[in-house]
Structure 1
Amino acid sequence: MNRLIANRGLLQIFFALQLVVGIMFIFNYMVYKNSISGIYEKVTENNRMVIRNIIQSFDASFTSINNLMFNIHALPFNQITNSSGQTDMEKVLSLEDSLARMVSTMDFVENAMITYDYKLVITPKGTSSMEALFDRKYTNLKYNSVFWQNFIRSEHDFTVFPAETYKEIDSSTKRELIVAVDSSRLSMSSKKLMVLIDVNRLLNSIDLKGMIPGASLIVMDGDRNLILSTEKNLDLVDILNDVYFNPSSEGSLKREDFEYNFYKSDYNGFIYINKLPYQFQNIGSVTSANQLIMYGAIVLAGLLSILLSIYLYRPVRNIAQLLGSSNLKGNDFVKIQSGIVKIQRENESLKNQMQLVDAEIQRGVFLQTLEGYSHSREYEIQLQNHYADWFQRRYFMMASVHLTPAAPGGAPELTMEEVTARLREAVTRGLEQAVVFHEDHLKFLLLLSVELPAGRRQLLRTLEMVLKEAERQELQGFRLQGCVSRVYESKIVNCRDAYQEIQAGFEYRDAGGRETLIDAEASFQAAEIHFPLHKIEKLSNCLLAGKQDEAAELVDDVIEEYTERHIQHHQLVHMAKSMMYVMLRQGDVTEGSRYELFRLETEVMRRLQESEHAQSVRETLQEGLRRIGAMRSVDSRSKLDPAFISQYIELHYMENLYLDHMAEVLETSSKYFSNYFKKTFGVNFVEYLNKVRLSHAREYLKHSDLSIAEIGEKTGYTNSSTFTTTFKKYCGVSPSEYRKKAAEQGGEGRAIR
């Protein structure tokens, strides 16, 4: 026992319980000293002061109403009709303006009305009629337009009608209003006045919060007619019969568990009744019982604190050890707190890890469903656990979203998890039934649930707006382009078909288009087939001749032509790869540059395949062209050079070129030149010369009106028969047939549908 008492943990428990006992004693003693009766008397006295202030506030409010009516009577125009008996609208408008200025200073006034003939009613907001006001705007089963017309016509004193609920017939708007009607016996003018008072705003201006909780206030006029009550369904008949009101004094009455205090206003004789609970009988016995409970609780609490200190010591030590604390002496509660904090941190970390693992599992399972392979029964059961998250409606659409840096400098510095989270936030903000998966690099897949296939068009418009909004907010710095599939039934087997459809939609999109959202269903229309063979051949000649700038212009021309023709993107990529292969053939292949050329080929082909638009294809080809041009090592001092030879033939093809002439120009023998040419260019000199000449001849046939003989002469053939024979040998048709066919098709390379 001595060891337990000496232990710090036990003492902590004991003194903690003693602190609780001490606090209980202090508060109980405070309650006892103040006593229930003393508190009640003090509170009721304060309540009387509050009620007097409230009565003064009510008197001030009714004084404002009387002043308002007095000022309205003081306005000019006892009549608003002219000599012919018609309404003078100038007078009406003047009254409206004056009335609006007066009412604007009184927040609790809902409306004020002036009438002369009981039909036309002038309000701060314009003119109306009794029927329009009290049968439509302020409707009440008891007080309708007929009631008010009859009452105003009758002789009456200043009357305040009780608070009633008035409803606007064209809407669900309800107002609790008090209606004050001016006296018809003591009237300063021919105007008939009504003022509508908003009860809620009136009570807010008076502030009833100072009353005792549970108390209520009743307002009655001098004839004991109820005007306003903060307590519903209050029966005051028996109470009023037992009270005699003296204008110079106050009265009170106790009934059941409540006390009723009566006050009479010196201003207008209104009666104010304050209902509040009063103290219980036998307060002395209650005080004695309270003392007994207080002292008994202190004694029992002291005994319990000793027993609980001993009883709780061992569990506290066990908890501290379970939380990883050592057996050394010390503050057990500090050890428990540090252990709990450590567990909370570990739980939070584990929770984040589990969320990440669950997201990756869902992503992996979804991507595997797109492979189309069959899986085991156990795997299929695991898939079904995710169906409810993926397919939330009867039908679905799949969308693919590709992100590309908007600026040439590159994408913003964000991790892939941050990009995914931002895209998911943007999509789910505009589309409730959407699931986002990261596919690869900056490519994402979306599962969009739709109730009916007819809602596809609206969903497309919404998704397009979501992507544009994401470019401006969450994913600023990226350009987003998406492709959406058709509507499929929500079955896992349809995911692969939808995925293949959006993949094809990206490939078959317009090469020159920069639309934010591609409709895969509309992208499979018949498209042009275009392949500019003559320009690709010319590109090869330019590279061979070392004309780097002209080759770059050819690349730009081809890309521009494809974008203007709206050729599909996959055709553009195929054509770009063909151009790249042609350019690679002209690279200077040496032992040192072979590997570099291989790396260039793989890099360019990969970038072309991943290109998102025509501009990226253009930039990739231009970069490949520059690097190939830099790899070519041409000795400009040597005439026996492929570039020089091809350039010379390109410039002099229209002349009478022959083998001996070329050997003479290159300062070598005819035999050596012939062998060198065939080895370098892959064809003999005559065949190469004919291809160059016929390439230019085809251009003349398509774009000029020259005769066949004139074209043959311009391209280096001495007579038309030789030109015709050679043209038919290489092109398969005669020059005239080629010209006719080119005219029908609009030129070589025209679309074939």
Structure 2
Amino acid sequence: MQPEGRQPGGRAWHRIQLCHSLDSPPVSWESRLVCGKPFGRGDGCASVFAKGGGEVVLKVLIVDDDKLTLKGLIASMPWADYAMEVVGEASNGIEALRFLEEHTADLVLCDLDKPLMSGLELIRKATVLYPDLAFAVLTIHSDFECIQQALRLGAIDYVAKVQLDRENFSSLLERISNRLRKNVQERSSQAGHWEDCVCHEDTISLLIALSEEDAEGPARGEKEYISTGRGVWFLNQGSAEPESVKRYLEGRFLLLEIQHVLGMKYGEVFRCADRYRRRALFYEYRREDKHISHSVKELEKREESVSPEQFTALKQHWLSMEWLHDETAFQSALQELSQSRLTKEQLLHIVLAVEHAWNRSYSEPLELEIVAPSDFLCWQEIEDWLEDIRQKSALLSGKYRFSREVTESIFRARRMIEEEYAQHLYSDEIARRVNMSRSYFSQCFHEICGCSFVDYLRRVRVEKAKEYLSHTSLSLQQIAEQTGYDDEKYFNRVFRKSTGMLPSEYRKQHRI
């Protein structure tokens, strides 16, 4: 009988890769419009750029699992007439996140009814990672509550699919374009008057939003606040603290005083503050802080970005879960991660990867699931969240009769199966890798996991095969190879034994 294995190299097609967004912290595109600088991926910023010295061109990503609708939207809508350009397409939320990791976009036209990740979940995750990204939604829902939920998450418009044939495409694009450009202009118009003005005082004060949820900040009617970019406002009263700022400091806002700015242009100072907010502030801030003071020279210091290789190594170290039951390893990993000075977006990538890996391994036996907050205000909150995961993981030691070391070794073996199921895997090899004898490993694995090593490996592979059959057009031979089976006939027998039907029958019933 053929062993449970295949040629190495296969990967789960649907797994979110959370480690590619490695550019510098994004610069708010309204401030880039003000200072007239070009945009590009190298800054990790929004993709808006001037076309022919005139109107700004908006880059659009379309997300829809209906290929006919997707192709129709791309081909039929007069994008160029409204200075818009379709730069990418995705069939689901996971593909959209992958695209955004490596490309820039200003607007996502998103179907709410998608496999693997709903449109609402995509908006929720993407707005945390890419705060300046705008969304318009397509939906077949007649339930207004679903539409309202999308709008509450930040969508700027919606259109029912049943109206697409009757909807005037030009009217739709004009509406979306106008709303998006109006948002940009409102945030940038006030700051534009100050960009080239020279500071006549040695200290200025800025109100900083600590959370993206509060990034809209003070209302436009509050004259003492001048927006200098998303989440930053200049206090137009010298360095004095106006009474009105106190109510903001009671919430998730901070007063930043920047010293030694006499003779500098306000625009230069504002950009220093923007860079500081997007990286260094996250690590320096403590919950009890309401005021922070820095000289402008300190803010001008640029954080060095980690290389892609360094980032991948950091992520893999956290995904190894070696820190879960070892206090020394945990503190060392925290220190290394803090000193790396990753951007907040990069930290969130690691957090989401840890969430996914932990739930995959521990949620079933512990009968609980961890959910990362949609946003962290500071590094201190990430430390607390990771410590909470360690406390939950400690519950394992009381659930089984084995020692903590043995229990964790079996869970390490489970993670190896879930990550390497597409390769040739054998119980004796895995036992050796977790430092256990083959016989004792088999005994412990069966008692902790409720099935043998071979049965667990087969279960993981069949579940992955179901996803391929439901969501891809790969041939049965290709799916067999991607799930660890060299022979299609053997794959068919294993699948039928596990599900009661052949892979071809399963595909007919479950194809999305």
Same topology, TM > 0.5: no
Say which structure is richer in helix. Answer: 1
TM-score by length of 1: 0.23
Look at both structures and tell me which one has the larger radius of gyration over its CA atoms: 1
Q: TM-score, normalised by structure 2?
A: 0.32
